Amino acid sequence: MESKKQTFVEKIASKLLPISEKLNNNKYLGSMRDGFYYAMPLIIVGSLFLIFPNFPIPAVVKWVNKTFGITWIDYCNRAYNFSVGIMTIFVIIGIAKSLANRYKKDEVQFIINSILAFMLVTPETLIKDNSFIPMANFQAQGLFVGMIIAFCACDLTNWVLNKHWTIKMPDSVPANVANSFEGLVPTAFVMIVFILIFFLFKITPFKDAQTCISKLIQIPLEGLGASLPATLFLEFLMTLLFSLGLHGPNIVGAVTTPIWTALTIQNANAYAKGQPVPNIINAQFDGNFVRLGGTGATFGLIILLLFFAKSKQYKSLGKLAAAPSIFNINEPLIFGLPIVMNPIMMIPFIFSPIVFGGLTYLVVRLGLVPPANGINLPWTMPPVISGLFLSGWRGAVWQLVEIIISVGWYYPFFKVADKEAWLKEQGKD
């Protein structure tokens, strides 16, 4: 029976492996994922400045206001506005850097041309004799257009360079000067092409690229990403791939990261203005409530290993994997238990998003727990603490409830696996 199950699992793996490899190796999805990775430290640090004026303990906020004056909030907002508030620029830089490395070209040139292209197609707002670019174009609203333009600008730059349409200077010219002249033609191409694109959008009903991409691509994708069925499917896909030995969050994250990050920023902007947050589902919903203790919500499994395991193998593994699991790092557990290619443990692991995602959505929908406020906490923030900062004391309590549910969810499967390991240790298998 076991061999049949194993064969079935292997068949699934053989079907999914080629698809996942193609997705993982796709240069655009890969560079998009890298772009967010590069920008993430800034987004996280910037989001933390929302914590200070909105600290979950009112007495602390009151004391700070009394000590430093109410104007200290303005400085926190400034830090947020010039980090998270212009995140699109940083994501563009990350994408351009990643694509330049993939093409083995100069990073600086790719970055400059990508930012240039984005600025050329970004519309201005005129007030009397002055013009300015609204900050919204650099926030979540401009995220998708920024990514698309970065792809196009980088590919155009790479195409021109591969054609060798560059100005070559004599060897006697210093390298920095020669590189500057080499970049003239690609930059000119980018400038001409994207000015033309700006003009073409002007004569359409959309008037600009931001509006067009927002209405045709970004809003529909955000609507899909904010829906419970689509979210549960994507979460299910992550755990399924991980159980087959593939890093599901990295593969699926190339698609989910821009969508859920945009929804998170929308919540953060509303939260900063004292308005109700609009999205139940966002990056924090995924990272802090669905993947409690890591992918598969394995926090409860760690408790079982530490306190209920009979086998020496599982007791030792529990001690080794406990510390990382507190910070939502559960690879030692996934590959050490193992959960990968283990028909018994794969069942609760794969279907955990249905349970924890569905229940979290329900309690938020019913008003029992506030939706995540948009503070982009590090994904390594321990449970209960993350819930406190994201959804107040009710968020912390709900994470405690989730931990209890996780223990019960994994218990019957753990007992079977632990008994099997114990029998092997006793030589009775």
Q: Could you read off the pLDDT of 339-386 as tens digits, one per residue?
A: 887 888 889 999 999 999 999 999 999 999 999 988 888 778 899 999
Number of other residues whose CB lies within 10 A of the CB of residue 144: 22
Domain boundary among 194, 224, 254: 224
Q: Which residue has the higher pLDDT, 334 or 378?
A: 334
Any idea how long the chain is? 429
* DSSP string across 14-47: HHHHHHHHHHHH-HHHHHHHHHHHHHHHHHHHHH
- How many Cβ atoms are within 10 Å of 148's Cβ, its own excluded? 18
- Please tell me whether residues 212 and 251 are part of one structural domain: no
Residues 217 and 257 in one domain: no
Does residue 44 lie within any of the structural domains? no
Phi, psi of 125 (to 5 degrees): -110, 130
Residues 276 and 404 in one domain: yes
Q: Identify whether residues 101 and 176 lie together within a single domain.
A: yes
The label of the residue with tokens 């490899």 reads 21
Structure tokens at 184: 């003239």
Q: Would 206 be classed as within a structural domain?
A: yes
End residue of a domain, out of 224, 251, 276: 224
3-state secondary structure of 381: coil
- Shared domain for 256 and 385, answered yes or no, is yes
**DSSP state letter for 51:** T
Assigned domain for 99 exists: yes
Query: What confidence tens digit (pLDDT) does each residue in 5-59 have?
Result: 455 556 655 665 666 666 667 788 888 888 888 887 887 788 777 777 777 677 7
- Same domain, residue pair 213 and 340: no
The answer on 205 and 241 residing in a single domain is no
User: What's the structural domain count of the chain?
Assistant: 2
Strands 125-127 and 130-132: antiparallel
Structure-model confidence comparison of residues 231 and 70, the more confident one: 231
- For residue 405, give its domain range: 1-30+226-429
Contacts for 303 with CB less than 8 Å, ≥ 6 apart: 403, 406, 407
Q: What pLDDT, on the 0 to 100 scale, is given for residue 130?
A: 67
pLDDT tens for each residue of 386-422: 999 999 999 999 999 999 999 999 999 999 888 888 8
HSE-up (13 A, CA, CB side) for residue 55: 13
One domain, residues 217 and 233: no
Cis bond upstream, residue 382 (ω within 30):
no
Residue in 397, 325, 409, 412 with CA at minimum distance from that of residue 360? 397
416 within some domain: yes
R_g of the chain, CA atoms, integer Å: 25
Q: Does residue 286 contact residue 260 with C-beta atoms inside 8 Å?
A: yes
Find all residues with CB under 8 Å of 103, minimum gap 6, and list them: 110, 154, 158
Q: Are residue 220 and residue 233 in the same domain, yes or no?
A: no
Residue at 363 is within a domain: yes
Residues 19 and 114 in one domain: no
pLDDT tens for 179-202 read 667 778 889 999 999 999 999 988
As a 3-state breakdown, the chain gives helix, strand, coil percent values, each rounded to 5, of: 75, 0, 25
Q: Which two tokens stand for residue 201?
A: 């959008």
| 244, 205: one domain | no
